[in-house]
Structure 1
Amino acid sequence: MDTIETIRYAGTEWIGQTQRPSARPTHGRRLMRLVRSLAMWVARLLERRRSRLALLEMTDEQLKDIGVSRCDAHREGLRPFWD
């Protein structure tokens, strides 16, 4: 019969288990994740704004190619970037 290793808590470590240092996120990692997600969110907002401004600069032929009327392009181009 195999022996069973007893796992018990001793202070800050579990005896019988190996802990990886990366298993627990530190405050620094959480902060970096937050900053990275915030930067990605801002990048998405800016890209949305750039694409809306590009609609305003398109010619009628280009708008016709993508199936958008001048009125729709103008309406979309004037929307705020957060919308």
Structure 2
Amino acid sequence: MRPDQITATQYLAGPAPARAPTIRTATMRQSLGAHFVAAASWIGRQMERRRSRRALLEMTDDQLKDIGLSRGEAYSESVRRLWD
């Protein structure tokens, strides 16, 4: 019998049932999900850090003096890279 031929029994039985995902596939999905959550969390932290650094530029000299920073230090902090 050729591979493209099916028997009457195979025809009546219908298509083969779908297999459940293997443990490896399920573990990989969980791992990808965990990595996605970690990446989203990191991005959120970096965005908050950037907002805080940019807020320093909007403070008055007296407010900066209260927290122990000069205008130059506030500027230097605001232009730092996200991962710094």
TM superposition score normalised by structure 1? 0.65
Residues 2-56 of structure 1 deviation map (CA, whole Å, 9 limit, x = unaligned): xxxxxxxxxxxxxxxxxxxxxxx71111111000000011111111111110011
What CA RMSD, in Å, does the superposition of the two structures yield over aligned residues?
Answer: 1.3
Structure number with higher helix proportion: 2
Question: What SS does the corresponding residue of 1:26 show, helix, strand or coil?
Answer: helix
Structure 1 segments (4+ residues) deviating >3 Å: none
Q: Which consecutive unaligned segments of at least 5 residues does structure 2 have?
A: 1-25
Q: Which consecutive unaligned segments of at least 5 residues does structure 1 have?
A: 1-24
Count of residue pairs the alignment pairs up: 59
Letter of the structure 2 residue corresponding to residue 30 of structure 1 = S
Alignment of 1:13-28 (within 5 A): 26-28=27-29
Identity of aligned residues (%): 53
TM superposition score normalised by structure 2? 0.64
Give the structure with higher Rg (CA): 2
